[in-house]
Amino acid sequence: MSNLEQTLSIIKPDAVERNLQEEIKNMFKKNGFNLINEKKIHILKSEAEQFYKVHETKPFYNDLCEYLSSGPIIVIILEKENAVAENRKIMGATDPKNADEGTIRNKYGISIDKNSVHGSDSVENAKKEINFFFSN
């Protein structure tokens, strides 16, 4: 049965700074994702705080929001069958040290905080996150 989904990817500041966006986007394309919309933006810390609100009680929340707002990012709507899970698969584990060979975080991640990409973790959150960046 067909299950076409959309998910939100963010190429984080550490990857944009190293000019890895084309390589990462090519990985999405090679893995059968359609890039429906994308834009390069530089968000405010207050916007990062809103985006990562689910993590507000975590000890890493403040640093995470500082970081996501520290430089340009690329936000991308990805579409594919089972896009949410498929994107999580090619991203790899949160900590690049634990990310499987060939995943984005394995190839490009520097550390648990500078792990190069964000990906929605559920269909429901994907909808919210896409709306967050692409609703005008």
- Active-site residue identified among 108, 118, 120, 130: 118
Q: Is 118 a known active-site residue? A: yes
* Closest CB 63 distance from ligand UDP, rounded Å: 6
Q: Is 53 in the site for ligand UDP (CB under 6 A)?
A: no
The four Cα atoms 107, 112, 116, 118 give a dihedral, to 10 degrees, of 120
In the structure encoding, which two tokens stand for residue 129, read together?
A: 């996150």
Indicate whether 51 belongs to the interface with ligand UDP (CB under 6 A).
Answer: no
Take residue 107 and report the two structure tokens written for it: 């190839």
**Partner whose footprint covers residue 64, from Mg ion, ligand UDP, none (CB < 5 to 8 Å by kind):** ligand UDP
Closer residue to ligand UDP in complex, CB, 23/88: 88
Contact flag: residue 126 with ligand UDP (CB under 6 A): no
Give the residues across from 72 on adjacent strands.
none
CA distance 22 to 59: 33
Q: Give the containing element (helix H, strand E) for 117.
A: strand 117-119
Q: What tokens were used for 60?
A: 């890493």
Give the Cα separation of 48 and 46 in Å (integer).
Answer: 5
Residue 94 interacts with ligand UDP (CB under 6 A): yes or no: yes
Kindly state whether residue 116 participates in binding ligand UDP, applying the rule CB under 6 A: no
Q: Which residues bind ligand UDP (CB under 6 A)?
A: 55, 60, 64, 94, 112-113, 115, 118, 121
Active site residues: 118
